[in-house]
Amino acid sequence: MKTIFSGIQPSGDLTIGNYFGAIKNWLSLQNEYNCFFCIVDLHAITVKQEPKELREKIMEVLAIYIASGIDPNENNLFIQSHVPFHSELAWILNCFTYMGELSRMTQFKEKSLKVGESIPVGLFTYPILMASDILLYNTDLVPVGSDQKQHLELARDLAERFNTLYSETFKVPEPYISQNSSRIMSLQNPMKKMSKSDENINSYIKILDEENVIRNKISKSVTDSLGKISYNDFQPGIKNLINILTSITGESVQNIEDRFSSKGYGELKKEVSDALISEMLPIQNKVKELLNNKDYLVEVYTKGAENASRISYKVLKKVQRKIGFI
């Protein structure tokens, strides 16, 4: 059985972009692959976090994973910092990575602009930690969006570079491109990806947003003045709403266009709101239940870390022997 690795940062609140772009797709993967779904808290601290809030968000993300349908008995659910081999391998890979490779990373360029002059080194080197995450588990496939393709390419380059120097050690991972995942865009600027770090709170919908908040944000979503519901690049706001609806219902774009051929934007927004609330409400209720049972969540992440440590330790020891460590 092939292995898949994926993870989400526990920084800020998870949005429906995280849900439809990643978590919901994991549900089908868990039945076909050996899956490692990680909460990547080491990545989260590349920007300043409030300790109390970070601890809360880590538990919340784990609860969202499980509430969304990720089975902890069938998958490896764990917290990244609980497996120290991620950091150990990252340091070794640091020594095989070139400055030029990291300086070309577009995400670093974008994120460093928000930080100002005092740019943390971790923000520059975190693609190496991402490579470590992937390579530690002999990962075959990595679900990636377009914004992460560069980072996966670095992981592949490092694996091949190390294998060339020291003989076959790492499995070279391939991208997993889902046919069903939708790229959910900002509700206020549908030309850019929905982001939990957006300054405009109306641009994103949190997985845990209440019903009235969801309806309000959808109703305020940017559309256009054409007045026709059509799925095309000239109407990015309408296209985004249709993508959200198809992600929930599985209905074809063509069918939605046909049903709304004589209807207005308000009717489309109402249907999207209704569908989204129906999808999120059971997850929200389950999250509340899980967060009230912290002992169970601790049991899940402890078991997950033990299993992940056992597997990743073997890979790290092989690497250490190859480079000459005793």
pLDDT digits (tens, 9 = 90+) for 45-95: 988 899 999 999 999 999 999 999 999 999 999 999 999 999 999 999 999
Assigned token pair, 243: 């993508």
Give catalytic status of residue 196 as yes or no: yes
Chain region(s) in the chain for CATH 3.40.50.620: 3-177+293-323
Phi, psi of 71 (to 5 degrees): -85, 115
Question: Among 149, 196, 286, 303, which one carries the catalytic annotation?
Answer: 196
Tally DSSP H helices, then E strands, for the chain: 14, 5
Model confidence over 176-223: pLDDT tens digits? 987 766 789 999 999 999 988 888 999 999 999 999 999 999 999 999
Report the predicted TM-score, pTM, of the whole model to 2 decimal places. 0.93
Catalytic one of 24, 111, 217, 269: 111
* CATH code, 201-288: 1.10.240.10
Q: Which residues contact 112 (CB under 8 A, 6 or more apart)?
A: 119, 123, 124
The mean pLDDT value for 225-234 works out to: 93
99-121: per-residue pLDDT in tens? 989 888 877 666 666 666 777 88
pLDDT of residue 146: 65
Contact 60, 38 (CB under 8 A): no
Q: Are 277 and 211 in contact (CB under 8 A)?
A: yes
| Edge-to-edge strands, sheet with 76-79 | 76-79, 34-39, 3-8, 141-143, 174-176
Choose, from 24, 57, 193, 269, the residue flagged as catalytic: 193
Contacts of 255 (CB under 8 A, 6+ apart): none
Residue ranges matching CATH 1.10.240.10 in the chain: 201-288
The CATH topology of domain 3-177+293-323 is: Rossmann fold (3.40.50)
217 is a catalytic site residue: no
Per-residue pLDDT at 112: 65
Which residues are CB-neighbours of 54 under 8 A, at least 6 positions away? 10, 11, 41, 44, 45
